[in-house]
Amino acid sequence: MNLKDTLNSLLSDVTEGAVAADPAHHGKPLNERGVDSVTLLRFLVAVEDALGIEWATDTPREVFRSIDSVADYLQDAVGVA
């Protein structure tokens, strides 16, 4: 499973399936997929736990726009493959 699929699966897990793990939606803004601030926080914690990373407090907000932007940041800034 690639990073984007892993992130999408984590998002689906934290929403108990309310947000589908559909690869066609990797670029769609998370808020348009029904992700509110509480869900986003739960997702970010799940990402930390699954990938063994810790989000920096100065991570730019635009990183959390979509699965694509989260994956790009993790690959470029954190070195997650």
pLDDT per position as a tens digit, 30-66: 999 999 999 999 999 999 999 999 999 999 999 999 9
Left (φ > 0), alpha (ψ -120 to 50) or beta: where does 78 sit? alpha
Q: What is the pLDDT of residue 81?
A: 67
CA distance linking residue 77 with residue 62, whole number of Å: 14
Q: What would the pLDDT profile of 63-78 be if each residue is shown by its tens digit? A: 999 999 999 999 987 7
C-alpha count within 13 angstroms, C-beta hemisphere, residue 81:
0
Element (H, E) at 49: helix 37-51
Q: Which domains does the chain have, with CATH numbers?
A: 3-78 (1.10.1200.10)
Instruction: Please list, in sequence order, all residues whose beta carbon lies within 8 angstroms of the beta carbon of residue 11, skipping any fewer than 6 positions away.
Output: 19, 21, 30, 33, 35, 43, 67
Task: Please state the pTM of the whole predicted model.
Answer: 0.90
